[in-house]
């Protein structure tokens, strides 16, 4: 299966809102399989959204501590409980930053065949699902930071021009 290149954090394509998947076809299954191969191609990878590999569709894959899978057209229900923990992005490798997110998530969507899927996640996996869902909406995790923190993060994440 093809391992795809991951777009850099400053790529404008990451700011676009991904389109809903309408066709559950061979092309979608190929995308999910190649995204899964891309996720597994490096150590410490927990999630990947289709926009990160240049595909503007609402698809994400995840793998963390034995829980792995994919969601097509995901919708998230977030718990009120929040927790701050370090977070990273495959589009800005090697940079971790503390971010406050919901501790628990119920994610509903479909699998690559169009069958309904529900994922209940706590802790890190909940964080991964929120992070990847943000990518589907053109939101980067730095957007959740205060202005000062965002400036410091971007100075670390983006190559100086």
Distance (Å, whole) CA 15 – CA 137: 8
Starting at the edge strand found earlier in the chain, the sheet holding 59-64 runs 47-49, 59-64, 67-78, 104-110, 116-122
Residue 36 near residue 81, CB atoms below 8 Å: no
Question: Which position has the token pair 């850099």?
Answer: 8
Residues 129 and 104: their CA atoms lie apart, in Å, by 10
Q: How far apart are CA 143 and CA 33, in angstroms?
A: 29
| Distance (Å, whole) CA 160 – CA 123 | 34
19, 65, 80, 132: which one is catalytic? 132
Active-site residue, 87 included: no
Give the residue numbers annotated as catalytic, written as ranges. 132
């Amino acid at each position: 299966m093809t391992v795809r290149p991951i777009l850099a954090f400053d790529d404008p394509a990451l700011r676009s809102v991904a389109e809903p998947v309408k066709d559950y076809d061979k092309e979608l299954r190929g995308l999910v399989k190649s995204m899964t191969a891309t996720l597994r191609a490096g150590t410490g990878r927990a999630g990947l959204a289709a926009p990160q590999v240049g595909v503007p569709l609402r698809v994400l894959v995840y793998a963390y501590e034995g829980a792995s899978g994919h969601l097509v057209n995901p919708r998230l229900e977030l718990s009120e409980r929040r927790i701050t923990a370090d977070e990273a992005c495959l589009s800005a490798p090697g940079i971790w930053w503390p971010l406050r997110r919901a501790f628990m998530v119920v994610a509903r969507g479909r699998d690559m065949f169009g069958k309904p899927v529900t994922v209940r996640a706590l802790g890190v996996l909940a964080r991964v699902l929120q992070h990847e869902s943000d990518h589907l909406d053109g939101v980067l995790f730095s957007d959740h930071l205060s202005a000062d923190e965002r400036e410091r993060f971007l100075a670390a994440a983006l190559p100086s021009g």
